[in-house]
C-alpha cells in the first residue's frame, strides 16, 4: 500500500491535534522509510518481476527487518518511545497514537500484499493479495486517503484547496505506480519511494507552518 497509509495519518491527527501531521506522515510509512535504505544497502532484498501481482511488480522476497510482524511491533514501540522522548510533556495518548500509526502500516500492507510479509524472520509469510484486484486495491487507497483527509479538514478553519489538490496529486502518483511501467531496478524503486515519502512529509510540514495561525485562532 502507498498513499492509503496517509489516511491513517490524517485520521490520527484529527484524534489528537497536538501531534504534527508530518510526524504522522513519517510514522505511517516508517517501515517503508526504513525499507528503502535497507534495499539500497543490500540488507533487505527485492526484485522486479512484472506480473507477479496484477498491479505491483515487486517481488519482496526478503524484508525481515522492516516488514515482519515482529519487526513492525519493534518499530512501533520505537515510534512510541521516540515521540515520548521528543515531546516529554505530551499526554500519554499522543505517543501511543504515534506507535499505533506505525503499526497500521503492517495491517494495511497485509491487506494488499501477496503473501510476502513474514510473521517473524523470513518465514510464515502472509498477505491477502488485494494487489491482484487492481481496481479494488486502487479504490481502497483512494477511499482511505480521502476519508482520512476529510476527517482532518473537517472543523478546521482556513483554506482547504491546497490540501485537496495535494491529495489528488498523491492519488495521481499512486495511479502511475499501479498502472504505469515497472520501476527500472530495485534501487530505482527504493530511491523514488524514499523521495516521495520525503516530499509528502515536507509538503504537510510547510502546510502546517502556513496554517498554524489559523489553528491558533
Which DSSP helix (H) or strand (E) runs through 25? Answer: helix 21-28
Interaction between residue 186 and Zn ion (CB under 5 A): no
Cα 91 to chain centroid, rounded: 24
> Is 32 a residue that touches Zn ion (CB under 5 A)?
yes
Q: How far is the CB of 62 from Zn ion (least distance, A)?
A: 14
Closer residue to Zn ion in complex, CB, 47/156? 47
- Quote the cell numbers at residue 47: 526484485
Least separation in angstroms between residue 33's CB and Zn ion is 9
Which region, judged by CB under 5 A, interacts with Zn ion, from 36-44, 104-112, 121-129, 138-146?
A: 104-112
Q: Which of 14, 60, 109, 116 binds Zn ion (CB under 5 A)?
A: 109
Residues forming a β-bridge with 58: 48
Is 116 a residue that touches Zn ion (CB under 5 A)?
A: no
- What is the distance between the alpha carbons of residues 38 and 153, in angstroms, rounded to a whole number? 35
Nearer to Zn ion, 32 or 141 (CB): 32
SS3 130: helix
Taking a C-beta distance cutoff of 8 angstroms, is the pair 177, 32 a contact? Answer: no
Collapsing DSSP to helix, strand or coil, 155 comes out as coil
Residues that bind Zn ion in the complex, under the rule CB under 5 A: 31-32, 109
Amino acid at each position: 500500500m502507498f498513499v492509503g497509509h496517509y489516511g491513517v495519518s490524517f485520521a490520527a491527527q484529527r484524534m489528537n491535534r497536538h501531534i504534527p501531521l508530518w510526524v504522522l506522515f513519517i510514522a505511517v510509512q516508517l517501515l517503508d522509510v526504513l525499507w528503502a535504505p535497507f534495499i539500497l544497502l543490500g540488507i533487505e532484498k527485492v526484485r522486479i518481476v512484472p506480473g507477479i501481482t496484477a498491479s505491483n511488480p515487486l517481488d519482496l522476497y526478503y524484508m525481515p527487518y522492516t516488514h515482519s510482524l515482529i519487526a513492525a511491533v519493534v518499530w512501533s514501540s520505537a515510534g512510541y518511545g521516540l515521540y515520548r522522548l521528543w515531546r516529554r510533556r505530551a499526554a500519554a495518548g499522543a505517543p501511543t497514537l504515534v506507535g499505533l500509526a506505525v503499526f497500521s502500516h503492517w495491517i494495511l500492507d497485509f491487506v494488499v500484499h501477496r503473501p510476502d510479509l513474514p510473521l517473524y524472520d523470513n518465514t510464515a509469510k502472509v498477505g491477502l493479495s488485494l494487489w491482484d484486484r487492481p481496481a479494488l486495491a486502487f479504490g481502497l487507497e483512494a477511499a482511505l486517503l480521502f476519508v482520512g483527509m476529510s476527517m482532518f479538514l473537517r472543523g478546521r478553519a482556513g483554506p482547504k484547496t491546497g490540501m485537496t489538490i495535494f491529495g489528488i496529486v498523491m492519488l495521481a502518483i499512486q495511479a502511475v505506480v499501479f498502472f504505469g511501467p515497472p520501476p527500472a531496478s530495485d534501487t530505482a524503486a527504493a530511491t523514488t519511494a524514499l523521495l516521495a515519502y520525503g516530499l509528502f512529509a515536507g509538503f504537510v510540514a510547510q502546510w502546517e507552518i502556513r496554517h498554524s495561525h489559523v489553528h491558533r485562532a
